Amino acid sequence: MATPREIRRLAFQTLYQIDARGGEDCEVIRAGLEHAEEFTPKEREKALALAEGAFTHRADADAEMQRLAPAWPAHRQAAVDRAILRLAHFEMTRTGTGAKIVVNEAVELAKKFSTDKSPAFINGLLDKVLKRVLREWDSVGASTATGTASATRSETRSETRSESGPAA
């Protein structure tokens, strides 16, 4: 059984391929995932869903990164860094994955697959996204009388602790 980190790595590699092919030939990429024998079919599907979701919502990620680092629009970023940023942005804004975990995992992917300067670049951008996401969670929690947003935020924080180990 693969760890969340390994599934995220597969999602990143898949997203990189999808982006390199301009969103074409997704069936070829899907077929290629069948060769990732260390993953179960369910894990491969999860990685593919993350990659496809990040590719689908790439304009949102690119726009936010452009706003945060105007000198580094998506077309100037290294393809590896762009894929890491897009995947992390998608996870932070569209899934229930703990945002702090996503930032940490993105930095680890950059350390393994990109240049020496990339981890700091990715951490700097995603830290700003993290702060925005946390502010939004807090404002939703404060403005929701029913407590649903607060419960969701607590569940996400719980998930963050369970993915990173016991709380200190």
Report the CATH number that the domain containing residue 137 is assigned in CATH. 1.10.940.10
**Is the pLDDT reported for residue 149 higher than 90?**
no
Separation in Å, CA 154 to CA 34, 144, 157:
36, 14, 5
Structural domain boundaries enclosing 73: 4-163
Cβ–Cβ < 8 Å for 125, 71: no
**What pLDDT, on the 0 to 100 scale, is given for residue 90?**
97
Q: Which helix (H) or strand (E) holds 94?
A: helix 79-94
Establish if 27 belongs to a structural domain. Answer: yes
Establish if 109 belongs to a structural domain. Answer: yes
43-92 pLDDT, tens per residue? 999 999 999 999 999 999 999 999 999 999 999 999 999 999 999 999 99
Establish if 168 belongs to a structural domain. Answer: no
Between CA 44 and CA 37 the distance in angstroms is 9
- Compute the average pLDDT of residues 27-52: 91
**What pLDDT, on the 0 to 100 scale, is given for residue 141?**
67
- Compute the average pLDDT of residues 22-44: 88
Cβ–Cβ < 8 Å for 30, 48: yes
Cβ–Cβ < 8 Å for 61, 85: yes
Number of folded domains that form the chain = 1
For the chain, how big is the Rg over CA atoms in Å?
16
Number of H helices, E strands in the chain: 8, 0
Establish if 11 belongs to a structural domain. Answer: yes
85-102 pLDDT, tens per residue? 999 999 999 998 999 999
**Is the pLDDT reported for residue 152 higher than 60?**
no
Cβ–Cβ < 8 Å for 16, 83: yes
Establish if 82 belongs to a structural domain. Answer: yes
- Compute the average pLDDT of residues 101-126: 97
Round the average pLDDT of the chain to a whole number and report it. 86
In 3D space, the residue among 101, 107, 83, 106 whose CA is nearest the CA of residue 157 turns out to be 101
Establish if 113 belongs to a structural domain. Answer: yes
DSSP 81: H
**What pLDDT, on the 0 to 100 scale, is given for residue 114?**
97
**What pLDDT, on the 0 to 100 scale, is given for residue 143?**
58
**Is the pLDDT reported for residue 106 higher than 90?**
yes
